[in-house]
Amino acid sequence: MIKLGIVYDQFLYPWFGGGGAVHAFEVVKRLAKDFSVIYFPSTQVFNVPSDTLIKKAKELETYGIKISDEFYEMNEKNMKANPKSILEKYKLDVDFLYEPDHRSPDIFYLGKRLGKFGLTIHVPLFYKDSLNYLRRLVKFYKVTPSGKGFYTRFLYNELVAKPRYRKLLRKFPPTFIASVSQGSLEESGVQGEVIIPGNAFDPSLLKYRNKGKEDYIVFWSRLNQDKGLPEIPDILRILKGLGVNTRLILAGKFFNKYYETLFWKKVKKYNLNVEYLGFVEREKLDAIVSRSKALIYPSHVDGFSLVMLEALALGTPVVAYSIPAIRSVYKDLKAVKLVEEFNKVEMAKKLADILRLSEKEIEEEMNDNTLLNFLELHSSWDNVERSVKEIILKHLEK
């Protein structure tokens, strides 16, 4: 059986790693049925307490994923050396190395030793168009009292990410780069293969469809500026000006006190009807989303958006900004209304159009054949794993 080495960090972290981590776990546990999988934890994991690492490692092994013996040896010695010395200790007795959710340069250094490696990106490696990136950052990231702002992101892209990856790609070119969407490749300006489907949802969500709608809209995700949180009250205010009053149900965790305070100040100033639920149990959240008339999703940073995919599976239309990743995945679906990024007026108008529809009209749109075919393709992680496996095998044979 082909030996496949996996280089990654999130499997051993005791916290939720977002959509990329979900993708990585679901794909790799399935790859373990088709390959002999050996996991080489990235160097970052050694900052996690040793007992936590062992607990997570043992859980991972129950899925048929073998963990490198060297990892256990280094963990036992409480290894805190520099990344280079850690990577040198890994014995790469595998045929190919793969990183399912690129987060660390480790894959390049290990891949150089083996000669064959691939990686999947979920967000851009870097933003190629510097001026466009700066323009966007100024609009949605701004400056916070902590001193962090658009310039910190911009300088990181220009002084760290862009030169680092251009150098790595030149010195240690991967056998392949894959992406969960065409948009992330375009923004990086790199050539690669698109995994189709790039992500999947739990098919149990489909049971919530066509169970009726109530007069509210929803937003759930990381509650920060990347996801357009500060713009949501402005959009709802414009919506009121169009003669459409609705309630917003908000779920998730606020990641920044400044933006949390700003959000609630706007809600109070504009006299908006917002219900905040915080973290919600999955079944309760699914029921809430399925009965809402729309998901408002003014996200500026996404590689695919599992939130949008799950909303569609639950039978709820989406209004989102037409950023490259979202556009490349969802542009052909009538139930997804895309507007130019930062165009809050147009987003409010699209929401108003949906909120004025009858329940029957919404159900008809959510049962469009194109959407149903899209959902069928994205309703199983087996389909995602199959696409990844085909890419790996294709490049192994070269």
CA–CA separation, 73 vs 89, rounded Å? 10
The fold for domain 3-200+381-396 equals Rossmann fold (3.40.50)
pLDDT in the model for residue 254: 92
Instruction: Quote helix, strand, coil % in the chain, to nearest 5.
Output: 50, 15, 35
* Non-local CB neighbours of 272 within 8 Å, separated by 6+ positions: 233, 236, 237, 240, 248, 266
- Binned at pLDDT 50, 70 and 90, residue 85 comes out as confident
Q: Are 281 and 307 in contact (CB under 8 A)?
A: no
Tell me the per-residue pLDDT of 227-279, one tens digit each, with 9 for 90 and over: 999 999 999 999 999 999 999 999 999 988 889 999 999 999 999 999 999 99
pTM of the model: 0.93
Q: Please report, for the chain, the start and end positions of each structural domain, with discontinuous segments joined by +.
A: 3-200+381-396, 203-377
Task: Look at residue 111 in the predicted model and tell me its pLDDT.
Answer: 95
Q: pLDDT > 90: what percent of the chain?
A: 86
Q: What's the mean pLDDT in 319-335?
A: 97
Q: Once rounded to an integer, what is the mean pLDDT over residues 159-165?
A: 96
Q: Collect all residues with Cβ–Cβ distance below 8 Å to 343 and sequence separation of at least 6.
A: 321
CATH number assigned to the domain covering 203-377: 3.40.50.2000
Most distant CA pair in the chain, distance: 66
